[in-house]
Amino acid sequence: MKKHKDTRIFPVPARVGLFLLALCAGIGAGAAEPGSDTAALLVHYRHLHRNPELSLQERNTSAYLAGQLEAAGFEVATGVGGYGLVATLRNGNGPVILFRADMDALPVEEQTGLPFSSTARVVNTAGEEVPVMHACGHDIHMTVQLGVARQMAADRDAWHGTLLLISQPAEEIGAGARAMLADGLYERFPAPDYNLAFHVSPDLPAGSIGYVSGYALANVDSVDITIYGVGGHGAYPQKTKDPIVIAARTVLALQTIVSRELPPLESAVVTVGSIHGGSTHNIIPDEVRLQLTVRSYSDATRDFLLRRIREISRGIAQSAGLPDERLPRVTVKDEYTPAVYNDPDLLSRIVPVLESTLGETAVTAVDPVMAGEDFARYGRTQAHIPGALLWLGAVDATQYQEIRKSGETLPGLHSARFAPAAGPTIATGVRAMHAVLLELFGGR
């Protein structure tokens, strides 16, 4: 999940409560399938957790996974779009299915107290030494993918097609999927018929899966606005064009795009997350800089938001009397991630499989969120490729019940205290994704 600290807005449906009762009675989902190797996978999980690497620095993680996936019987290509891996298992005629896991960690100092906590520190691209932690659960993603790889290799009599496992770098900065595609992912390797991924959820209990049909995660744009003025003495405002006042008017006017210009049922966010200008009390500065995050689901809404941000910024500066050469500069940053759209037809095949594998009460429809994920890029090249990103519950079941009673909140993604219940989460992830793959390969 890309740099959004708060995704903790799932409702907690009654079905999850029922599921927990079932789990307590020992009849629910979450147990490892016979033959699955959760204990062995936990060794890999702890290794990955203890050795996190930042976006674009996933050298050791990538090498470690390459070795494991090769040992599982996959043909592994390294160095695809940076440290990206493509592990292929060709198993006769049938669909091509891409299943992606992401590898990067975050500049967060771990405070979970786990015995296998990360103490790693690295130098980031700005040359600063920073702590590193798998605070977004990508270590779980990689471990589950490895478990699925082993099961699919062991089960190869039960399915036909080509399984393409992607170990993707740099998800947190929205760069990895684009880099792998630009490096010829769909030209050098078979182009997929379906794309799959999952993300751990800090809001659902381990043993459960959450899903959204349709838009699940948002278009994410970062926008920089530099508002120019004409600086001068704070006691002689008549001789200036004050960019701080222009910026204040701009910030307020931008809030009316969502509240007054979009249909009320259309979801969007315009947040001004940073505003900087000026140096001291009595000087009117020459410029003020704003940084925005802009979120939407449809391309049409995205285009509308970005157009109106330009028009409003410009119009307010013009109304303040600034000449054309001093109008604001509005820059939409390159790090855009497109919205994740879960194909409804694909979901209608996946959900019944999950229900029969994990138990009906363990599979829950959840609300979409406005966080971002660059997984969407895999479906957006060439013709549309149907895909789905699922939420994998990661909260210890007992803790989940306690929290529900007390009304407290648990550490979310990107928190220094985010500590998923690794065993049941990994076991459930492997069972779920294995079952989904068998269904899509026509092997069930």
Applying CB under 5 A, the residues found at the interface with Zn ion are 1, 136
How far apart (Å, rounded) are the C-alpha atoms in residues 103 and 137?
A: 9
CA nearest to 64, candidates 42, 83, 39:
83
Our CB check for Zn ion shows the closer of 139 and 439 to be 139
Q: Which of 58, 102, 104, 287 is catalytic?
A: 102
Phi (first) and psi of residue 178, to 5 degrees: -60, -40
Q: What is the DSSP string of 44-77?
A: HHHHHHHS--BTT--HHHHHHHHHHHHHTT-EEE
d(CA 412, CA 7): 7
Q: Which helix (H) or strand (E) holds 247?
A: helix 243-256
What separation in angstroms does the CA of 260 have from each of 35, 289, 292, 295, 311?
57, 25, 19, 16, 15
Q: Which is nearer to Zn ion, 285 or 429 (CB)?
A: 429
Concerning whether 37 is annotated as a catalytic residue, the answer is: no
Q: Which is nearer to Zn ion, 100 or 150 (CB)?
A: 100
Kindly name the residue from 172, 203, 287, 396 that is annotated as catalytic. Answer: 172
Question: Residue 252, Cβ neighbours under 10 Å: how many?
Answer: 11
Q: How near is the Cβ of 44 to Zn ion at its closest, in Å?
A: 18
With respect to Zn ion, which residue has the nearer C-beta, 231 or 379?
A: 379
Distance between start and end Cα atoms, the chain: 31
Answer whether 310's CB lies under 8 Å from 186's CB.
Answer: no
Tell me, yes or no, if 299 is annotated catalytic.
no
Give the residue from 92, 31, 115 showing the smallest Cα distance to 419. Answer: 115
In the complex, least distance from residue 156 CB atom to Zn ion, rounded to whole angstroms: 30
Closest CA to 219 of 371, 90, 345: 371
Smaller CB separation from Zn ion, 91 or 342: 342
Mark 199-225 as b/e (b = at least 16 C-beta within 10 Å). Answer: bbbbbbbbbbbbbbbebbbbbbbbbeb
| Residue among 223, 220, 267, 173 nearest 371 (CA) | 220
Kindly list the catalytic residues: 102, 172
